[in-house]
Structure 1
Amino acid sequence: MTGAPVQNAATTSTNDVTVYTATLVIPITAPPILGGAVAVRGGKIVHVGERAWVTESLAEQGVVAREVHHDGILMPGLVNAHSHLQYTGMAAVGQRQYNGFEDWAEAFNRDYVLPHDWYADAMAGAQSLLRAGTTSVADIVTDPTAIPVLHESGLHGITYWEVMSWTNEDWQERGRQLIVEELDRIPTTPGAGLSPHAPYSLDAIPLLDIPDIVRQRGLRTHLHLGEAAFEGERDGSGVDGEPWQMVKLESFRAMRSAGFGMSATEFVDQLGVLGPDCHVAHGVYMTASDRALLRKRGTSVALCPRSNEVIGLDAPPVAEYLVEGSPIAIGTDSLSSSPSLDLMHDVATLVEVARSQGYRGDDLHERILSAATLGGAHALGLDLGPDRTGYLAVGARADLAFFDVPVVSVADGIVALAEAGAGRASATMIGGELVWAADTTELEVSRG
């Protein structure tokens, strides 16, 4: 690695300013900068721009700054918008190829019931994210021991407690209280939420209640939607021609059994699940009208193309999402359905899929990189407020990722990062603190 931006934390106070320079800086919300710089103080970004302008501006203010240079690309930390870190120990399942959702689910369930150290596995997954340049994650957990992992690993994001397999009767009798208790166990730093697993794994009343539970607390929801083919629309008018919304059946599966052709997206929308405080994962089996519903409700979708490929599903309609202007993010899913937790592998896969689906815009690489950063932050509600992240701008949290990608020009650097950035992360910073570097040798720091 050339020039990893490593510094001695013991010599850095909250009032010190460090200027991180790179061959190419990609702010996401501003044009890329050759010879760019990002100045950091107290865990926040205080300047972004060309190196000369940043250093001169600081000098004019009487600020003596450290400078650390990286020969490569500096960008916001990646935001993994869908993962299950506790399944990191189930990597053997994700290394196979399956013939569809049911085939994969059988293999998953066989491994899931075996003894696992969910805490250790989740912590190992968190470290894998850090080594890949990821600074925030939407992590879905099913075991209480995995709950504190984000808090303890230093990652930002949200820990979502997954809710599934509740019938209406059991939910009203004891489920709701149990889930509220589990939610209250999640540390609010960095964030907490609930994940109703999917429309087909819960009856209607839990799906009605869960959004209210989190909204009353100002929290968020996240669910799998459009991942399995049976969630898509089908022909069928149901019972006596009545609109499905008017027939009081207990679940999505019951609706389908009664002959209604509505999609899973329509179903959860009718129950009030969707909204700007909710994001969904996968979004593979969705029609244009389903995707329009997501846009109308302000709901982002986290695309997980490598997971879909392993399970044997279709590729997500990324070209359509891009053309229609849908808010998209990117997730790795877990090692139980994906070869790695390196989000840049999914970035490269989405670029390839979009091209194969006919997307010809010159902005493809930049838009997919934006989905992996700002798009993920937006999906998790992390793009606004005092701790905003996902882009490099004054006042944002100093969540930074450095990549050893050669830069000849702005355009070539962005293409190289999007298509071949996997495995090239060289250092990761969260809130201005170095949390991982490929080269742990302290660099000589120049003072302005």
Structure 2
Amino acid sequence: MTRTILRGGHVVTVDAADTEHADGTVAIEDGRIIAVGDAAPAGWDDAEIVDASGCLITPGLINTHHHLYQWLTRGWAQDAILFDWLVALYPTWARIDADLVRSGAAAAMAVLARSGCTLVGDHHYVFPQGGGDIIGGIVEAASEVGVRLHATRGSMDLGRSQGGLPPDFAVETTDAILEASIQAVSRYHDPSPDARVQVALAPCSPFSVTGELLRESAALARDLGVRLHTHGAETVEEEAFCRERFGMGPTDYLEGLGWLGRDVWMAHCVHLDERDIAKFAATGTGVAHCPSSNGRLAAGMAPIADLLRAGAPVGLGVDGAASNESGQLATEIRQAVLMGRLRSGADRMSGRDALRIATMGGARVLGRDADLGSLEPGKLADIAVWRIDGVEHAGIADPVAALTLGAQPPLSLLLVGGEAVVRDGELVKSDSRAIARRGADAARTLAARA
């Protein structure tokens, strides 16, 4: 039996009542939270004590959308909108393999962990012929860093010759995708409450997959008991594509193929009207909000305040590192506040709203809110401890604002299932310098192939 007590920090539980403890304690036993409050449980004299004075204690952050392999193409096509950016990068991405992806994914997840992220949602949809076990490489990278992973077996089967955006050499056949999806779930998905790896099915987008693949993937995922993920309503160009090709907008198109529901989440959702928002809320369809990427690609500002008010699940996402070179998740909290206020007004998106999106919101989007997303007895001990007594944050009137409006605070400690993954800003289970070297080598190798 392993016991740990975090003591003396400002605890933000993100529970249903928004409980906070100014001088709080979090007690952990065998990877789960036992008690949260103003004092440690009685009889815990044998526990390891972590002095969290001068710190903010929050649930671990949850990243609901990423493309980890894109770590290898950061800084490319810097001034392009989404469609032009994709066309520029598809030829290079089609030359990845499992070894390169593993190196890039480890680097991306190291940065995520050092920015307070305990659960990484990844959307991988490029599988070159002969590229090896790419999903396996991502799983290995997550284990190396020490974070949880919600991997997806993504896909594209609508090449340019059929009216899609990706080049024909970058797509797979529908039958091959469905068979590979079954194999990925069988090999890597763990349905248990404390799972380190779960898998979803994730056809890429309405402009890169066929209606047949969307329909068949939805049926297959529900038969296998896993979730569904795709991009939706990201840009005006996507809206125009759907209206020209299908005679309707992205939300109506996806709804007709079985793609609205509590087991579905979509990335971006920038261009939703009131009717779309009502459908997301009524069906419990989740949204992965990626504010920095939306700005980088000039996609627009998503109606997050309206989605939240309607009751739709909303989580936070970094998106691919080729459209958000920072790769940090904590900084997206501040971006969510700023973008939300620009879109909807200063009183429609508070810092605590954005922190909830980054924690409990993400857990809800990924179907893990029973065990993750808040600091409550019985939940898994995925916890971030932020130091806020340094010069950047000392004296700030509200400790939560140090994280949600200030610079990203230094990460004193990151726990995943009660185990330290980051301590004093450095990875515990692996060497960040070695990961950085491998990532840089992999990026150079991929560039040479292109």
What TM-score results when the alignment is normalised by the length of structure 1?
Answer: 0.81
Question: How many Å separate the matches in 2 of 1:115 and 1:301?
Answer: 28
Where does residue 103 of structure 1 map in the other structure? 84
Q: Is contact 2:388-2:409 (8 Å) kept?
A: no
Distance apart, 1:354 and its partner CA = 1.7
Distance 1:344 1:400, change over 3 A: same
Aligned with 2:219 (options 212, 224, 228) = 212
Q: Secondary structure at the match of 2:398?
A: helix
1:40-439 correspondence runs (5 A): 40-50=28-38, 54-55=39-40, 57-59=41-43, 64-70=46-52, 71-93=54-76, 96-98=78-80, 100-113=81-94, 117-141=100-124, 142-143=126-127, 144-145=133-134, 146-148=137-139, 149-166=141-158, 174-188=176-190, 189-232=196-239, 253=242, 256-257=244-245, 260=247, 262-361=248-347, 364-384=350-370, 388-406=371-389, 412-422=398-408, 424-438=410-424
Matching residue's letter, 1:67: I
Q: Secondary structure at the match of 1:58?
A: coil
Matching residue's letter, 1:348: R
Q: Is contact 1:342-1:422 (8 Å) kept?
A: no
Q: Is contact 2:155-2:202 (8 Å) kept?
A: yes
The number of equivalent residue pairs is 395
Say which structure, 1 or 2, has more relative contact order (CA 8 Å, 6+ apart): 1
Question: How many Å separate the matches in 1 of 2:213 and 2:95?
Answer: 28
Distance apart, 1:147 and its partner CA = 3.8
Structure of larger gyration radius: 1
Where does residue 243 of structure 1 map in the other structure? none
Question: How many Å separate the matches in 1 of 2:158 and 2:177?
Answer: 7
Matching residue's letter, 2:201: L
Q: Is contact 1:46-1:395 (8 Å) kept?
A: yes
Where does residue 24 of structure 2 map in the other structure? 36
Question: How many Å separate the matches in 1 of 2:277 and 2:349?
Answer: 21
Question: How many Å separate the matches in 2 of 1:434 and 1:179?
Answer: 33
CA RMSD of aligned residues (A): 2.6
Question: How many Å separate the matches in 2 of 1:115 and 1:328?
Answer: 31
**Unaligned stretches of 5+ in structure 1?**
1-14, 235-251, 443-448
Question: How many Å separate the matches in 1 of 2:9 and 2:373?
Answer: 20
Question: How many Å separate the matches in 2 of 1:269 and 1:427?
Answer: 42
Where does residue 437 of structure 2 map in the other structure? none
Q: Is contact 1:93-1:111 (8 Å) kept?
A: no
Matching residue's letter, 1:109: Y
Distance apart, 1:299 and its partner CA = 1.0
Q: Deviations over 1:228-273 (max 9, x none)?
A: 21343x7xxxxxxxxxxxxxxxxx85x6246x2x211111111111
Q: Is contact 2:232-2:266 (8 Å) kept?
A: yes
Distance apart, 1:115 and its partner CA = 5.7
Question: How many Å separate the matches in 1 of 2:365 and 2:79?
Answer: 29
Q: Deviations over 1:358-393 (max 9, x none)?
A: 334387111110000010011111111xxx111100
Distance apart, 1:224 and its partner CA = 0.6
Q: Secondary structure at the match of 1:414?
A: helix
**Unaligned stretches of 5+ in structure 2?**
128-132, 163-171, 191-195, 429-450
Matching residue's letter, 1:31: T
Distance apart, 1:284 and its partner CA = 0.4
Matching residue's letter, 1:97: D
Q: Is contact 1:347-1:369 (8 Å) kept?
A: yes
